[in-house]
Amino acid sequence: MNEPSTAEIRIDALTRITEAIETAATLDELLLLALRELSLLFDLPRGGVALLNDDGSAGQVVREYPPQADPAMPLQPADLALMHGAVSRRQPIQVHDDEHADQSPRALELLRSYGLRAALLMPLIAQDHAIGMLALGATEPRQFAVDEIALVRTLASQLAAAISAFRIYDEAQRRNQELSTLNEIASTITSTLDTSEVYRLVVQRLNAYFNVEAGSLLLVEESSGDLRFVMTIEGGEAKLAGVKVPMGQGVVGAVATGRQWEIVPDAQSDPRFYRKISEDLGFVTKSILCVPMIAKGRVIGVIELLNKLDGQFTPDEAERLMRMAAFIGVAIENARLFQQVASGRDRLAAILNSTADGILMTDMHGSVLTANPMAAELFGASEQQLTGRPLDELLRSLHSRAREVNTRSRGDSNGDAETPVHVSDIELGGTHHRFIRHLSMPVRDADGAVYGQLAVLRDITQERELEQIRDDWTSMLVHDLRAPLTSIMNGVMMVKRGIGGPVTEAQNELLEIAHQGSQAMLELVNNLLDISKMEQGRMTIDLEPVAPYTIIDQALDRLRVSARSKNVDLATCMALNLPLIDADDDKIVRVLQNLIDNAIKFSSSSTSVTVGAHAYGADHLLPTDTPLHPPFADGEWIVFWVQDRGMGIPAAYHERIFEKFGQVRGRKVRGTGLGLTFCKLAVEAHHGRIWLESEEGVGSVFAFALPRTHTDER
């Protein structure tokens, strides 16, 4: 039988290599079969394939023949330079064990390191793109013939096309697996509020995807800035939860600070390696892949993978993990925010369901978004039935059942006069007599824009009943005290006049003290009676034209003796030609008298109290040296003010001080707490305004403004 010719042998080898390309299930299997056939075809002892990454910045020997036990290491920079030189010319290169030949020193060095005397380096080109190099080596000196090189080129071309196809397929498989992993993570995040379960699944899936021994998820603590282990899985067990690494320390700290991935092939020799945690666990860390998790432009944590089980971590894996970390970071941040919102919602629901107030919240169009059980009870409908209905319609229905509705308004907390807080007291009849206080206020976002309305319906029945009991008791007390007080004062005056016999000077002084005490008590009783009448709307206001100067003179005359006894000077600061105003002379004099009396009481000896009056409005600006700043700018007014140089009043008491029995704590001088209440009610009965301007340690200015309604000029 004739021996097969060289051409037949080569055709047969080519056929087998083609079959290998067509039937190989993996890239590794393809390369092993191809290298074996090429080595047998050319009677060569060794062969290998090195591949470049997509941008040519890194490369690795991916398969050798005969197969080697040790895994191939990444190409060194000198090896990459040699490889780039060969593929850039896209021509095969023959290397010989000859120091005098014109060839790369590195090629000669590699040749000898493998125990070879000659080698053929053939670039692998696929789709006009250099993807790597095929190397065939001989242990004896050898010159490859032209036809041999041509055959290797043909086989290399087919091999490159197959490698490219396998790479595309592998990349697609990796992407599919990556997407599958991310889908599983996303599914878990959206299906559970248990963040611990989310963290566990993330690390578990990443460990399996990248085939590593252990993996950790660390999040940045907002309070301290440290990185805290929220999940570590090693050998299927969760560990390390709660352990912290200071920001900037360890590989994780460097990654979080630098916002770039890091591959540490030998952790034990890296100075950044944070040994304490591994030592505490008894875990030997060999290699590390660590990437930052970035959400909304900030680093929220890092992912750390340890000890790859099938070789070393590669830049391609680092880039893949970076892509996954971007998705995972956003998903975890959203899960955390959702949990915060859900927790806040649950807390709000618990508060709304347990409060005794009826609460309704609307959108910017006035439709009810939220209603609590008390609101549902008050309106006689379920919470679901209230949702979506216009608030105005519900309130009209409530008011239609009311016996009486008293409404007032005040500015909201931002001082926006266009969106005031409305307060209504509603008296409901029926089986259960009830008083409801309705407060309506705007709801604002972080920028102050109004996007809804809040209606609070408070049952003040018990409060009203207590007020009624108090008012009845006060009224009874006042009326029962006036008669005996009047009798006492009349008796004292008759004794002073000598009707009962001669009165000594000492007795006269004692009688004067008794008369002044009785007079003070009678004023207190009158204040209580007047306040009660004004609160109930029964106080009669006798308006008549009166000069502001007359009001001030009368008030000052009543208090000059008191001022001299405390060595306090009374000064005036009044504008010229102030017009007459329509007022109840007696009540406004009492208002000013109360304010001056308070100023004297809280002034130190040798200081002064100033009383002033000015016109104020659009055409009447206050003089620059006037110590007050009215909190309104509408209308035309006559402003009265009293300034002292006392200790001042804390801002927290500015509103409360006008309430009944409202006093500033800690003051040595104390009163009944009714004088300023009378002032407020009397001024408001004149459709005026009263306010306080005070600074601790400097003094106070009490002021009130009355409408300038009288047209006659003085």
Residue 667 reports pLDDT greater than 60: no
Instruction: In whole angstroms, give the CA distance from residue 694 to residue 401.
Output: 45
Q: How many CB atoms are closer than 10 A to CB 637? A: 22
Looking at residue 516, its amino acid is: Q
Looking at residue 300, its amino acid is: I
CB 645 within 8 A of CB 605: no
Q: How many CA within 13 A on the CB side of residue 299?
A: 24
Confidence of residue 615 (pLDDT cuts 50, 70, 90): very high
Distance of CA 147 to the CA centre of its chain: 75
Q: Which residue has the higher pLDDT, 29 or 5?
A: 29
Residue 538 reports pLDDT greater than 70: no
Residue 412 reports pLDDT greater than 50: no
Name the pTM for this structure.
0.43
Residue 410 reports pLDDT greater than 60: no
Phi, psi of 410 (to 5 degrees): -150, 160
Tell me whether residue 303 is exposed, middle or buried, using C-beta atoms within 10 angstroms of its C-beta: 0 to 12, 13 to 18, 19 or more. buried
Residue 415 reports pLDDT greater than 50: no
301 CB-near residues (< 8 Å, 6+ apart)? 217, 218, 219, 220, 227, 230, 256, 292, 293, 329, 332
Q: How many CB atoms are closer than 10 A to CB 297? A: 5
Q: Out of 143-157, 234-248, 273-287, 651-665, pick the least confident.
A: 651-665
For 24-27, which contacts have Cβ atoms below 8 Å and span 24 or more sequence positions? 24/162, 26/166, 27/62, 27/163, 27/166, 27/167, 27/170
For residue 706, what pLDDT is reported? 94
CB 415 within 8 A of CB 397: no
Residue 626 reports pLDDT greater than 60: yes
For residue 613, what pLDDT is reported? 94
Three-state DSSP class for residue 457: strand
Looking at residue 267, its amino acid is: A
Q: How many CB atoms are closer than 10 A to CB 327? A: 17
Where does 24-98 have alpha helices with state H? 27-41, 77-89
Q: How many CB atoms are closer than 10 A to CB 19? A: 12
pLDDT over 70, % of the chain: 84
CB 599 within 8 A of CB 555: no
Distance of CA 450 to the CA centre of its chain: 19
For residue 463, what pLDDT is reported? 79
> Mean pLDDT across the stretch 605-629?
88
For residue 535, what pLDDT is reported? 62
Parallel, antiparallel, or unpaired: how do β-strands 358-363 and 450-459 relate?
Answer: antiparallel
**Distance linking the first and last C-alpha atoms of the chain:** 148
Tokens of 599: 């100023």
Confidence of residue 305 (pLDDT cuts 50, 70, 90): very high
3-state per-residue secondary structure call for 218-283: EEECCCCCCEEEEEEEECCEEECCCCEECCCCHHHHHHHHHCCCEEECCHHHCCCCCHHHHHHHCC
- At 572-597, the pLDDT tens digits run 999 998 999 999 998 899 899 989 98
Instruction: In whole angstroms, give the CA distance from residue 180 to residue 197.
Output: 18
- At 260-295, the pLDDT tens digits run 999 998 888 888 887 777 776 678 888 999 999 988
CB 422 within 8 A of CB 415: no
> Mean pLDDT across the stretch 548-574?
90
Among residues 197, 195, 184, which one has the least CA distance to residue 332? 195
